[in-house]
Amino acid sequence: MMDFRTLPDGPLRLENVTVPACLVGQAGGLVRTALSLDGGRIAGKGGTPVDMGGAMVLPCFVDMHTHLDKGHIWPRSPNPHGTFTGALETVRADHARWSAEDVGRRMDFALRCAFAHGTRAIRTHLDSMEGQDAISWPMFAAARDRWRGRIDLQAACLIGCDGFSRDGAFRDTADIVADHGGVLGMVLYPVDDLADRIEGFLEMAAARGLEADFHVDETLDPGSETLRALADIVTATGFDAPVTVGHCCSLSAQAEARALDTLDRVAAAGLNMVSLPMCNLYLQDRHAGRTPRMRGITLVHEARARGISVSFASDNTRDPFYAYGDLDILEVLRQATRIGHLDHAGDDWVRTVLDHPAAACGFAAPSLAPGAPADLVLFRAREWTELFARPQADRIVLRQGRAIDRTLPDYAELDDLMETP
């Protein structure tokens, strides 16, 4: 593999590279082509030729659903049983330690990981209950400024829907979100007056001109149908800002006809779906002494067949909701491919970590077209089986045409934050 650090400055022509046809406006699977790089951008032609030997090239990634504020607390707050309830309770207890410095240092650590793996845009959720919003949002805004030009950052507030009321503390949270250019977010699960809460939430978002991002039905209880309720309310109210729905696990446990009917409503409402397959695999269908039978992943094939925007994202990293992960979206796509049988099912699933999430969130679209920034990830792999067989730890990441230092931060940096207070 070419060592980009030893190449002279000046225009280059990467000959004999392999790219997904869907990214260069062609039909079919992978195609061999050439990419010219000039002045930090992709150019139409020209440059000193370099034979890339068939290396796969992708534009840098978009990770549209993360929890940077929770990341890397595992050593001090491990999930006691690996369950969803254990995750909720453990994180809630850990909140006492979420000073601006604590959240900020863990967030910066996570962003350095994501950057090294080739990600250039991230949306994170930020726990915003019980006064945490006043700490985390200004700290997030500072991180967004610091990372500008390397990773485009967005944030969505996170509260449980039983913590929502039209005239309670969430109004202040919504104002903080609006002040920081954020997205209004909430977790939906069955509660008695769910429809009223969703309507009130969307009214607050509309009054402030905010987009919406929901965690929905992160459970295998088939009776959890908050996605269905949300889709119907969005359609009925005509709420017209982009709406994202994450998880949607219960669809996979419902009777087929019912789940597909809900997806028809999601399509009609124009909701953007994001699946978090690694976190689902960890939390869903976990029972002590019993082998899990269900994967938790939502109905991604059926959703795409209905024209719904489907993306995959990291979700949690090294926290009680997911013990592992490193904000490597290639790992997410590799795992999603295996968990969801994306192989043998069309050629353009790579778009679920590129232009689909970019469009859902309003990030600049990752592109290989002339004029786009030369923000590229290059692999020794020459086809999908080679790409997904290895972690691709030796990938090269170019930002504006230059190879970045891909050294990952050392976990020991965070040791002092993990000590017992």
Q: How big is the site for Zn ion, counted in residues (CB under 5 A)?
A: 1
Smallest gap, in angstroms, from Cβ of residue 125 to Zn ion? 6
Taking the complex as a whole, the smallest distance from the CB of residue 113 to Zn ion amounts, in Å, to 17
Q: Which two tokens stand for residue 181?
A: 């250019």
Please tell me what DSSP assigns to residue 115: H
Minimal distance, residue 315 CB to Zn ion, in Å: 5
CA pair distance 398, 415, nearest whole angstrom: 31
Closer to Zn ion by Cβ: residue 127 or 315: 315
| Interactions with Zn ion, residue window 122-181 (CB under 5 A) | none
Q: How far is the CB of 417 from Zn ion (least distance, A)?
A: 22
Instruction: Dihedral sign for Cα 323, 329, 334, 338, please.
Output: positive
Can 419 be counted among the known catalytic residues? no
Site track 291-330 with Zn ion (rule: CB under 5 A), x = hit? ------------------------x---------------
Q: Which residue is nearest to Zn ion (CB)?
A: 315
List the structure tokens of 99. Answer: 């000073």
Decide whether 315 or 328 has the Cβ nearer to Zn ion.
Answer: 315
Q: Which of 13, 123 has the CB closer to Zn ion?
A: 123
Identify the active-site residue in 218, 383, 386, 419. 218
State the minimum distance, in angstroms, from the CB of residue 70 to Zn ion.
9
Residues numbered 339 to 378 that lie near Zn ion (CB under 5 A) are none
| Among the listed residues 85, 114, 112, 136, the one whose alpha carbon sits nearest the alpha carbon of residue 315 | 114
How is residue 62 annotated by DSSP?
Answer: E
Please provide the distance, in angstroms rounded to a whole number, between the alpha carbons at the two ends of the chain. Answer: 47
56: nearest Cα among 349, 300, 326, 387: 387
Residue 96 to residue 119: CA distance in whole angstroms: 30
**Residue (19 or 126) nearer to Zn ion, CB:** 126
Query: Any long-range contacts for 30-35 (C-beta under 8 Å, 24+ apart)?
Result: 30/56, 30/383, 30/384, 35/368, 35/376
Q: Which lies closer to Zn ion via its Cβ, residue 133 or residue 315?
A: 315
Residues assigned a catalytic role:
218
What residue ranges bind Zn ion (CB under 5 A)?
A: 315
